[in-house]
Amino acid sequence: MNTGAVAGGGAVSTIAAIATPPGAGGIAIVRLSGPQAKALLSRVFLPLSPSFENFRPWCLHRGRVLDENGELLDDVLAVFMPGPRTFTGEDMAEIHCHGGPFIVQALLETLIRLGAAQAGRGDFSRRAFCNGRLDLSQAEAVAELIAAPSREALNYSLNRLDGLLGRRVRALREAVEALRVQMSLAVDFPDEEVDGLSPQALDQAVFRLAESVRQLLRGKQRAHVMQCGARIVLAGAVNAGKSSLLNALLGHQRALVTAIPGTTRDFLEEPCNLEGLPVRLVDTAGLRENPQHGNELASGPDAVELLGMERSRQKLAEAEAILLVLDGAALGAEGLAAEVCPEAAAAEVLATAGDTPLVVVLNKSDIAPALSDLSSPPRWAAGRPCVAVSAHSGENVDALARLVRERVLAAGGNPPADGLAPNARQALALEGALEELTALQEDIRTGQPYDCCTVRLDMAAARLGEVTGLDSPAEVLERVFAQFCIGK
């Protein structure tokens, strides 16, 4: 497919865009892609070297750029890159100029007046996709690479940009299509002997395909966490030190801290980086027994506190990890040795956490001697990891951050060592393929005819093709490339 076809037919245009962020800077880049890239570059570029002859591909040449009237704009470096071995698969050119906003905009407007078309969002990557330089998963990796908030997110994007996910999915699709051919032969030539197509053998083959899709999907949550961050909720009783711990993890005073119980009446959410893992820390109002008395409805301060506790419980339900903060000094040695958690608020959080990763944080270790003898989690922690910290002095806060990071990543599944993981769109397509394969297994076991079963394989192959863009409808491509910046 060529870009002309994507644009609605006709000749392929040459597009131009500013490839660097807006604003003043030392250097800015204006790039061109299309059949007239070299011609347009030649019209605006005046070389300074007397030995300059045409443009030597892939080499930077120093010179001046002129506007359409021949007036000097800037002293620049320019490079011409012939297709098809370029990012877009077309002839490309770049002009590296000084980063003043007027210079950059004037250069772009000059190129447009001379015949270039203004590039839209993702147009360069779209051309790379249409010209076979990238599949759709690789094109998405370009945008994810630019937006990567951490080193691990960067590594995940680089793996996809290298085509790792695309190769795995294409191999799966080929296996699905090969199985369909075998089934079609069995249908078309029922009297011929076709190896390996007994219902049992077919069931096993489909099971292996489904397992391969499941393996790809295991990294879905991990990829989401690496790209978007995890919501970590700090919960517990009033005056346990949740706000102080939030400040300690952030490294600055963000939450208001006082000795008055119930100071935090609403949740406070702040972004944080835990050794390369982007997270959102949520400080919540302390939980305690209902402040209303008898059958009377709470009013005034009690009503506000009730609303705060209700929001705390909502945030707990949305949490991707929980820090259950307890006052270690108030708990004491007896509380640590108890069979049942002596704190009602902590017991509530433990009971409702379910499968959400949870770390028990025993705060105030600087004034709680019993915490220094803590060798294993209390029995009431039900096997959850336990860390004694001092939000006041910072003791063990770094160790807590490392533990939380490990628990959040472990909850996202254990993908292969290469870090392969699909993004949300890719995971949706893989889940669709898995649904078809799972339904196919049920059809085989209930004795459905092979010619009916092949429809499931067709659908599974189509859903796998959506990952790489082979079978993606135009509206999906529009959504994907609309998320890109102009110039990429």
Pull the structure tokens for residue 76: 């620049």
Q: Please write the tens of the pLDDT for every residue from 258-314.
A: 444 444 455 688 888 777 777 888 888 877 765 554 444 444 456 666 777 778 888
- Once rounded to an integer, what is the mean pLDDT over residues 246-254? 74
Q: How deeply is 71 buried, as exposed, middle or buried, from its count of CB atoms within 10 A (0-12, 13-18, 19+)? A: exposed
Question: What pLDDT was estimated at residue 241?
Answer: 83
pLDDT in tens, 192-248: 555 556 788 888 999 999 999 988 887 776 666 766 778 888 888 888 888 888 888
For residue range 341-393, list pLDDT tens digits in order: 888 888 888 888 888 888 888 888 888 877 776 777 888 888 888 888 888 88
470 vs 262: which has the higher pLDDT: 470
- Answer whether 286's CB lies under 8 Å from 260's CB: no
Measured CA to CA, the distance from residue 72 to residue 342 in angstroms comes to: 79
Above 80 in pLDDT, residue 465?
Answer: yes
C-alpha span between 136 and 162 (Å, rounded): 12
Q: Is the pLDDT of residue 169 over 80?
A: yes
Which CATH number, 1.10.540.10, 1.20.120.430, 3.30.420.10, 3.40.50.150, labels domain 141-219+420-482? 1.20.120.430
At residue 6, the pLDDT reads: 44
pLDDT attached to residue 65: 96
pLDDT given at position 199: 83
Query: CA 125 to CA 134: how far, in whole Å?
Result: 8
CATH number of 230-411: 3.40.50.300
CA distance 47 to 148: 38
So what's the pLDDT on residue 40?
Answer: 96
Q: For 1-15, 83-97, 174-188, 346-360, which range has the lowest pLDDT when averaged over its residues?
A: 1-15
State the residue for tokens 């940009």: 161
Distance separating alpha carbons of residues 234 and 237, to the nearest angstrom: 10
pLDDT per residue as tens digits for the range 421-433? 788 888 899 999 9
- Tokens 């102009």 -> residue: 486
For residue 325, report the phi and psi dihedrals to the nearest 5 degrees: -95, 125
CA distances from 89 to 18, 126, 206, 213 (A): 19, 11, 38, 31
Residue 256's pLDDT is what?
46
Q: What is the pLDDT of residue 254?
A: 55
CATH: 3.30.1360.120, 3.40.30.10, 3.40.50.2300, 3.40.50.970. Which one for 3-133?
3.30.1360.120
Q: What local confidence, expressed as pLDDT, does residue 402 receive?
A: 87
**Residue 66 exposed, middle or buried by CB count within 10 Å (0-12, 13-18, 19+):** middle
Mean pLDDT of all residues in 54-80: 94
Element (H, E) at 63: strand 61-66
- Residues ≥6 apart with Cβ < 8 Å to 143: 122, 125, 483, 484, 485, 488
pLDDT, position 300? 45
Q: How far is CA 435 from CA 207, 213, 440, in A?
A: 12, 10, 8
Q: Does residue 443 register a pLDDT over 80?
A: yes
Task: List C-alpha distances in Å: 410 to 177, 218, 403, 405, 454.
Answer: 34, 11, 11, 9, 38
Q: How confident is the model at residue 412 (pLDDT cuts 50, 70, 90)?
A: low
> Among 149-158, 249-258, 321-330, 344-353, whose mean pLDDT is lowest?
249-258
Q: What is the pTM of this model?
A: 0.69
Lowest mean per-residue pLDDT among 59-68, 150-159, 185-194, 246-255: 185-194
Residue 233, helix vs strand vs coil: strand
Place of tokens 């259950």: 324
CB atoms under 10 Å from CB of 140, counted, come to 27
Antiparallel, parallel or unpaired: β 117-118 and 277-283: unpaired
> Rounded distance, CA 487 to CA 138, Å?
17
What pLDDT, on a 0 to 100 scale, did the predictor assign at position 253? 60
* Residue 289, Cβ density class (10 Å: 0-12 exposed, 13-18 middle, ≥19 buried): exposed
- Spans of all domains in the chain: 3-133, 141-219+420-482, 230-411
Bigger pLDDT: 100 vs 184: 100
DSSP state string for 259-315: SSTT---S-EEEEEEETTEEEEEEE-PPB-S--S-TTSPP-THHHHHHHHHHHHHHH
Name residue 272's beta-bridge partners: 279
- Between residues 117 and 287, which one has the greater pLDDT? 117
Q: What is the pLDDT of residue 128?
A: 92
Q: Alpha-carbon distance 14 to 80, whole Å?
A: 14
The string of DSSP codes covering 393-428 is: T-TTHHHHHHHHHHHHHHHT----TT-----HHHHH
Kindly state the average pLDDT of the residues 23-31. 92
